[in-house]
A and B are shown apart, each in its own frame.
Chain A
Amino acid sequence: MIDPITLEVIWSRLISVVDEQAAALIHSSFTTVVREAGDLSAGVFDRAGNMIAQSVTGTPGHINTMANCVRNYVAPNYPIDSLDPGDTLITNDPWEASGHLFDLTIVSPVFYRRRGVAWFASTCHAVDIGGATMGGDARSLYEEGLAIPLMKLFRGGEVNQQLIDIIRANVRVPDQVIGDIYAQEVGNQVGARKLIEMLEEYNLPDIEAVSGQILDRSEAALRSAIRGLPDGVYGNTISIDGFDEPLTIACEIAVRGDMLSVDYAGSSSQVARGINVVLNYTHAYTTYTLMAALAPGIPNNEGAFRPIEVRAPRGSILNCTRPAPVSARHLIGHFVSQPLLTALSEVLPEQVIANGSAGLWNTMMDGLDENGREFAYVFFSAGGMGAGHNRDGLSATAFPSGIMGVPVEAIETAAPLLMRRRELRVDSGGAGRFRGGLGQVMELEIITGAPANHSCMYDRTGNPAQGLLGGKSGAAGDVRLSDGSQPHPKSHYVLRPGQRVLLKLPGGGGYGEPFQRDPQRVLEDVKQGYITLAAAKRDYGVVIDADTMSIDAAATATLREEPKK
């Protein structure tokens, strides 16, 4: 039994070790998707593959899926005692890891005094994995690129050159993809070195005892938070765009004592397009959302997963079966957060937020640059977040994803694209006592003089983010070409030179009755150009004199007293 002070000292140290791992990975990465967007995760695991600590950088879809992957797939298939120093494993199996082929999970055992004592793992989004490019078009997994079953990437420190050659031959930008694989290995090795230093310093044989206690304490803390909720069943159902037709996500949260289970029964069946979600990914965003609402101070690790059970019917959109196409799984997966928060609003109205844009908008362009070389470029953009009980929603901010946007200057330096504008989208935040966050508007064109392929992965074009407790919906998204035509928001088309594509990202939902919003706040929104004068009157019942920019108190009072239509 380690006393609580020693335990905390070693635990803090473990967190600094995984931060060192992530820092080394990011700094040696070759892609903006890892460096700027932060589409990665890094963590340390005990001998059995239980995740103990994760780095502060990262995104839930990677962290929590990586945790399941190492425990349920890597460690059982390659028990740590069967490996040798210098071995490193790799996989991108969507069902076992993070839900699509793009994410490479790389796992290295750590040896200390000739015994395997821990694992370091990271998951990064590769810029390309071959196949049809990123998007929802594929009809099966086999069209989506190169699958890498769990295998050794390094054997006793020697790289598996055949695998590297296969990857190189399958992807459009091999230097970047291979470069990042090495960056992941660099991160794991830095983590391993620092962990060994720690074991030496504290004279520990391994981290089993520390792991056991941290996981138990995390579990106990989460159970106590769950016990704070009244027993009962809380449910909510939302509609989202889907690929060709709308899909339903239904959730039911059952709280019994210190156990919480989530069941997605009633959600749509899997579809023949690449937007299906594996259970691992559904699980990741479910636990993440619940932790953020219920117990944001508890570390996210194996222990915190134990009191939460996640079920989805086999063959449903949230638990698809092989070989369903899954490339754009995040388009659906990010949405599980939405009905969960709404369901919890019944018991935790001040700890949740209204629905928001939720699904990141992924823009992928590929083609030939001015010199006839292949280019492939992907970036992520966020719409507005939902409002909370005492604050407006954040504009253009990713949630639940932890991924970041990329500066226009970085995009244009890396790819032959021209962004004509990127600004906040006026009137897109859902009205409410607190307003939803604004989406953004982007206008893009290609400057190579040659056509390029634009893969769209955009949602909420038909189903806007709903408001909460009287709040109104945010604006729906929109994709439109300069000739007025509308490409399919989850497919790809050819963007021609001289043509522009206009992306309007969705806004977040409002919280509470809009007519209860402080008129001064409405006036301020008009002055700053977050909403228009017309919207102030229509949505908030606030009449503003355009010349003096002041509130017409009498007209406002009258308007607000009228029964709403």
Chain B
Amino acid sequence: MTAPSVLLAVDIGGTFTDLVALDTDTGRIAVEKLLTSYPDPSLAVLDGVRSLLERAGLSADGMRYVVHGTTLITNTLIERKGAVTALLATAGFRDAIEIGNEGRYDMYDLALRKPAPLAERRLRFDVPERMLADGRVHQPLDKDHLRQVCAQLRAEPVEAVAICFLHAYTNPAHESAAQAIVSESLPGVAISASHQVAPGMREYPRASTTIANAYVQPIIDRYLERVEAGLKASGIAAPLNIMLSSGGTTTVAASRDFPIRLVESGPAGGALAGLHWGRLLGQSDVLAFDMGGTTAKAALTRAGELAISHQSEVAHVHRFKRGSGLPLMVPMIEMIEIGAGGGSIAHLNALGLPAVGPESAGSAPGPAAYGAGGTRPTVTDADLLLGYLNPDYFAGGDIALDRDAAQAAFTELSAALDLPLERTAWGVHQLVNENMAAAARVHAAERGLEIRRYCMVATGGAGPAHACGVAGGLGIGRIIIPPLAGVASAFGFLTAPIAFDFTRSYVSRLDELNLGELNGILADLERDGRRIVEAAGVAAGDIKVSLNIDMRYVGQGYEVRVPFPMDRLTERHIADMRQVFETEYRAFYGQLADGVPIEAVNWRILISGPQPQVASAVFDEAQSANDEPVACRPARFAAELAPLAIPVYRREQLSASWTAAGPCIIEEAASTTVVRPGWSAQVAAGSCLLLTRVGGGKNMEWAKT
């Protein structure tokens, strides 16, 4: 028997459960999509696995490993369906998560609401103990008091306990001792300690993260147990790995300890897929852009890798208002999400100017053109009126689009603006593009990245129709439309290396670093990481260890992250650290703060296995190749211009040598690619479509809106 060669990815989304199997020997890929099962999502997973194996003629013992990602964590937090969770806090600080940052996320909203803490106040307890900012013990842990609290908790239906003590990120001794006492006093209760879950300064986000971890732990625990058992029952003995929001995968055991690191793993898969296709076509600066029915998401690479952030929010009170969610400090692929999708509704704002979103018609009733009761003008309606969408081949013909309904929906808006209908539709299309471009631009600016240099990888139902417009607004000249757009996240999981990262806050000026102590800490982190990664099936010799250091000038509050070779650190490394910091800082801010000492704050170690090789992926042979247009239809590409009759191609029929100049349209079941005038299109490696701006100059037609 040959060695197992099949990798299987499973992505549970809110609506669909997607599965992708890749045979690494043959490069063949098989895909399955089914509705997510509620209340037990593991049922659909197991159904899907059975059906996929059967259809693709794969055997259960040919499986090398299974990668699993899920929105279960995010949904549990949004729907507030987690475990009853208690908080143990340094005496006097149990309200830190309710006091929050004392700010209002919308200055003009007098009726503003804040997210309620996941641990209600009556379950938040004071524990006498105190560390100082430098890690010295100011007041020892009162163990007797803690035991009394535990006794009190036994009378409550508490399923999870979060421990968050002040300055535990510099000295975790009290949290560790408390952890031991709680687990002894409350057997069977899930325990999360802040120095393990989110070891960084700022008690509010750290406590929020720790509580969220505890809150989802019992739920994810039960769920993973069912999936594991189910796979075994299906005859799959291969290890189950779990997708992390940071873009790596890890063992079931490690994800049970830190389930909050699984939050948003689906979008992480989408970003990984973008990176994969970009690399396949030789691009290292990649903007992964996904536009669906309600939202658009974007992720940017930095120095060829997806940027990781440790500050994010989840379960927003106002979905698109920064500051209205629960703060999280976990490694996560940095992503922006805005309320712009095919279902986004166009309306007039307070100034009487047109605006698009964030309100969305969603999938029910959906855009007016769906004919399912929607009457307000949406982005999809605009795209239909502009001639971009084929009313008879939307979602592969599953949804018939009604042009008259779209027209009716736009009548009122165009009358209010005193503009012709098509001009209004063009404006809505342009506005939603500018909204997405603006979000990407600010995001890039906050990180000092030059977005014009990037290559966009566009996915999602609406992404390929808007890619040229958004790219134009960003000055981007290359776009990849990858295959498998319908299951992009699951496919991305297959490209994820097995990896786990640890962070330790160890604040010290570079010229005062205690190298002995630091080397000890880093060695401990490396050892813990190796253990997890080896348990997930990576051979010791294949493990790669990398180090990132967050540094800043003494007195600053935001750090600059620099990669640094992982090695036993010696005096000579310190000058190198200073140099890489200054290089990065100058790139970011343009000038150095001369004479101010530099300090290192966080030390992040990433332990990873090799990147799975999926570059050879092949798809079902194209049916009869046909490089000729299948139709011709009128479409508009600027406000005043009359509609052009433009050729329409069918994607799955195109041969590997197909090329065409824009404007043209390429249809497939999952989406429609719109190639604007001034762009050209071709089939490229890996069955991708590659769109290139001709001449590479400014996109003047964009400028005229």
Chain A positions within 8 Å of B, measured between CB atoms, are 3-9, 11-13, 15-16, 19-20, 23-24, 26-32, 35-36, 38, 56, 58-60, 175-176, 179, 182, 186, 189-190, 194, 200-203, 214, 217-218, 220-221, 288, 291-293, 295-300, 351-353, 380-382, 388, 391, 394-399, 402-405, 407-410, 412-413, 418-424, 440, 443, 447, 527-530
Bound-state Cα–Cα, A4 to B348, Å: 10
| B92-A423 in contact (CB<8A) | yes
Task: Output the least CB separation between B137 and chain A (Å).
Answer: 13
Could you name 18 residue pairs across A and B whose Cβ atoms are closer than 8 Å? A5-B430, A8-B353, A15-B438, A23-B442, A24-B446, A26-B558, A27-B446, A27-B588, A36-B557, A179-B555, A201-B702, A300-B108, A352-B110, A353-B110, A395-B99, A398-B103, A410-B201, A423-B94
| B99-A221 in contact (CB<8A) | no
B133 partner, pick from A288, A395, A413, beta carbons under 8 A: A413
Bound-state Cα–Cα, A415 to B351, Å: 46
Q: Which of B520-528, B569-577, B590-598, B627-635 contacts A (4 or more CB under 8 A)?
A: B590-598
| A402-B107 in contact (CB<8A) | yes
Chain B positions within 8 Å of A, measured between CB atoms, are 91-96, 98-104, 107-114, 120-122, 132-133, 138, 166-167, 201-204, 322, 349-355, 417, 419, 423-424, 426-427, 430-431, 434-435, 438-439, 441-442, 445-446, 475, 507, 553, 555-558, 588-591, 593, 596, 639, 698, 702-703, 705
Secondary structure call for the B interface:
loop
Bound-state Cα–Cα, A297 to B349, Å: 8
| A396-B99 in contact (CB<8A) | yes
CB contacts (< 8 Å) of A440 on chain B: these are 95, 99
A408 partner, pick from B96, B352, B419, B423, beta carbons under 8 A: B96
Bound-state Cα–Cα, A20 to B442, Å: 6
B352 partner, pick from A24, A221, A299, A405, beta carbons under 8 A: A221
| A23-B446 in contact (CB<8A) | yes
Closest 7 CB pairs of A and B: A421-B92, A5-B427, A405-B102, A404-B103, A297-B350, A296-B108, A16-B438
CB contacts (< 8 Å) of A404 on chain B: these are 101-103
| A292-B110 in contact (CB<8A) | yes
CB contacts (< 8 Å) of B103 on chain A: these are 38, 397-398, 402-405
Bound-state Cα–Cα, A95 to B419, Å: 47
A422 partner, pick from B93, B351, B417, beta carbons under 8 A: B93
Bound-state Cα–Cα, A418 to B553, Å: 24
Q: Given the interface contacts A221-B351, A402-B107, does A424 sit within 8 Å of B445 by beta carbon? A: no
CB contacts (< 8 Å) of A201 on chain B: these are 475, 698, 702-703
CB contacts (< 8 Å) of B556 on chain A: these are 28-30, 35
CB contacts (< 8 Å) of B350 on chain A: these are 221, 295, 297-299
| A175-B104 in contact (CB<8A) | no
| A412-B133 in contact (CB<8A) | yes
| A24-B703 in contact (CB<8A) | no
Bound-state Cα–Cα, A351 to B94, Å: 33
CB contacts (< 8 Å) of B100 on chain A: these are 396, 405
CB contacts (< 8 Å) of A6 on chain B: these are 705
Bound-state Cα–Cα, A221 to B351, Å: 6
Bound-state Cα–Cα, A3 to B420, Å: 12
| A293-B442 in contact (CB<8A) | no
CB contacts (< 8 Å) of B596 on chain A: these are 175, 179
A407 partner, pick from B203, B419, B426, B591, beta carbons under 8 A: B203
**Chain B residue with minimal CB distance to A443?**
B92
| B132-A412 in contact (CB<8A) | yes
**Chain A residue with minimal CB distance to B202?**
A407
Task: Output the least CB separation between B416 and chain A (Å).
Answer: 9
Task: Output the least CB separation between A384 and chain B (Å).
Answer: 11
| A20-B441 in contact (CB<8A) | yes
Task: Output the least CB separation between A203 and chain B (Å).
Answer: 6
CB contacts (< 8 Å) of B555 on chain A: these are 30-31, 175-176, 179
| A9-B110 in contact (CB<8A) | no
Which of B102, B114, B167, B705 counts the most chain A CB atoms within 10 A?
B102
